[in-house]
A = this chain, B = another copy of it.
Amino acid sequence: MEQEVEEKLWEIVEESEIALFITNAEGYPRVRPMTILAYEEEGGVWFATSRSSRKVEEIARNAKATACFLNLEGGAYAQVFGEAELVEDPELKKEFWEEEWSDYWEGPDDPDYVLLYLRGARAEYYLVDEDELWVVEF
């Protein structure tokens, strides 16, 4: 059962039309759409970001953040609650690098290009038609 709940979580993530990354900004939640690079079934979500971005400042002050995945046409949305951290491992940066990012960064070694990892503590998803909320603890 637990495994099915986890599988459904990542299914919603995969099928989501929109991913949002939400920080605490001076006490208020602040949202921005982001592209998810990968997820780990143990509860991690990977993004790429610019070191000079506001979200990097915000997680330095308060690492608690949420990744939210909207699949409203599919009647579901999911969110992963956790602690966000920057990851600058050169190998990983290379692995995740997409050629289309060349508009923003010089290449995978650009020091302004950093990975953002949300280490999930828990997650939940809501199925609209069933009016059911499911919780996953990582």
- A interface residues, Cβ below 8 angstroms from B: 18, 20, 22-25, 27-33, 64-66, 68, 70, 72, 77, 79, 81-82, 121, 126
Contact = CB atoms under 8 A, between A and B. Distances in A.
A22 B33 CA distance: 14
19 contacts: A20-B31, A23-B29, A24-B24, A25-B81, A28-B81, A29-B29, A29-B64, A29-B65, A29-B66, A30-B79, A30-B81, A31-B31, A31-B66, A31-B68, A31-B77, A31-B79, A32-B77, A33-B70, A33-B72
B18 A64 contact: no
Contacts of A23: 29
Counting chain B CB atoms within 10 Å of each CB, the highest count among A23, A31, A33, A68 belongs to: A31
